[in-house]
Amino acid sequence: MRIPKPVLGGVLILVLLAAGAYLIFFNKAPAAPGSQGADASVAPGAGQPSDQASGQKPATAPLPVKAVRAKKADLVITLKSPGEAYTRQQIVLKAEVEGVVKNLYAAEGRHVKGGDLLVELDDRSYRLKLERQEALRLQKLSELYLEKQFASSSQEAPPAAIARLNTTEAEFAKATSAFQKGLITQDAYEAVQKDYEIALIEAGRKKDEIMATTKGLTGAEIDVKAARMDLEKTRIRAPFAGILTDIKISALEHIDAGREICTLVNISRIWVKARILESEIGKIKPGREVDLRFNAYPGKVFKGTVEAVSPVVNADDKTCAVHIALNNPSEEIKPGMHAEVEIAAEIYKDRLLVPQEAILVRGGRKLVFVVENGLAKWRYIKVGLENEAFAEILSGERPEEMVNEGDLVITEGHFTLAHDASVTVKE
């Protein structure tokens, strides 16, 4: 029987497909145990039981945390306010007499002591004026001496004048004592004084003084004193210790009386004026400690003290001025600087405190972690009074709610901690 060619070709194709499928199937089949070649390697640790197979948990390293001890201390509730620095010793020095600036010792930023010479004016004209007045005084004194030498001998005062003098002298002594004690008025005192002086004249006790006035000696002596004062004013001195600034004159310049010379300011001690709401002013007392922070020195805290509380409330903003004093030996703080003021308003003694950073909230309840034998133990707590830095811990009823003085409380690294987690406290 003859097979047609198309049929024969189809059978050959089927045979080839079956053979290919056979080879693919048996090449992918896993090798039988023990059939590995000589170059096959054995996995490390083969045949040894693993930790999971043995049922043991792998050891975990302790978590690093920071902690501080709960302590008993005073809890201070503070009030905050903006403030401005100022000084109470700042004056503008002015010339009191005219003249040419002979020597100028004042310089911008120079530190001076009280009494230091700042400016010298040409004083020749003032010296001549003083000498002229001295000569005139001597002339008047000589005339008075000659008048007394040739004057007739004085007669004794009548007994009535002497008696009146004794009476008014006693009344004047009493009036003086009463006036010094504030028991009589100025007008009443001056009336008694006038009667006493009239009695002195009547008794002849003021004859020399009256004669000196008549002859012009008294006026001459006053002119001498005035000329001496003008001479002294040609030398301008620092009235107190401080720093010179805003120099407004130069050497050899002619200046008039009243001309501004420079500004002298003392900033070794500074005051800060803060404003506190009237509703809080009753909590502020003189002597309370104050923390001050200035924009010029970020991160630095200066210590001051409440010196005075104004007795007047500002009607516009209902605030009261509080004046704070602080020493400024390094002269860092300048008048006009802005300050953030934090005043100790209320002080609660002997409270158990932990830092605010130690407190967490889980499930709506506040807790802290306490380190015991290398493990973190949580304590649900009741918080009392608070400020920005610390919170008061109230006594709990159960052991898991109690924090004791001296307990090591975690402040950092505790956000993801679990109860009984192994921890190590880092420095």
CATH assignment of the domain containing 389: 2.40.420.20
pLDDT one digit per residue (tens) for the chain, 427 residues? 455 555 445 555 665 665 555 555 444 444 433 333 333 333 333 333 344 444 455 557 899 999 999 999 999 998 999 999 999 999 999 999 999 999 999 999 999 999 999 999 999 999 999 999 998 888 877 777 666 666 554 566 788 878 888 898 899 999 999 999 999 998 898 889 888 878 877 777 766 666 566 557 778 888 999 999 999 999 999 999 999 999 999 999 999 999 999 999 999 999 999 999 999 999 999 999 999 999 999 999 999 999 999 999 999 999 999 999 999 999 999 999 999 999 998 889 999 999 999 999 998 899 999 999 999 998 999 999 999 899 999 987 777 778 999 999 999 999 989 999 999 998 6
Residue 22 forms part of a structural domain: no
Cα 398 from Cα 408, distance rounded (Å): 19
Containing structural domain, residue 247: 93-116+240-265
CATH at 98: 2.40.50.100
One domain for residues 157 and 222: yes
One domain for residues 294 and 379: no
One domain for residues 285 and 332: yes
Token pair in block for residue 175:
């009036």
Cα 324 from Cα 311, distance rounded (Å): 15
End-to-end Cα spacing for the chain: 103
Beta-bridge mates of residue 103: 120
Cα maximum dimension of the chain: 200
One domain for residues 301 and 398: no
Cα 229 from Cα 227, distance rounded (Å): 5
Residue 24 forms part of a structural domain: no
Sign of CA dihedral 242, 245, 247, 248: negative
Residue 105 forms part of a structural domain: yes
Name the H helices within 109-244.
124-150, 159-180, 186-202, 207-214, 217-232
Buried b (16+ CB within 10 A) or exposed e, 351-370: bbbbbebbbbeeeeeebbbb
Residue 19 forms part of a structural domain: no
Q: How far is CA 371 from CA 61, 152, 383, 405, in A?
A: 16, 112, 20, 13
> Which of 321, 348, 375 is at the close of a domain?
348
Residue 150 forms part of a structural domain: yes
- Burial (CB < 10 A; 0-12, 13-18, 19+), residue 20, is exposed
Backbone angles phi, psi at 336, to 5 degrees: 95, -10
Residue 43 forms part of a structural domain: no
Tracing tokens 């010479």 back to the chain, one arrives at: 117
Closest CA to 89 of 231, 260, 250, 241: 241
Number of domains in the chain: 4
One domain for residues 168 and 207: yes
One domain for residues 133 and 225: yes
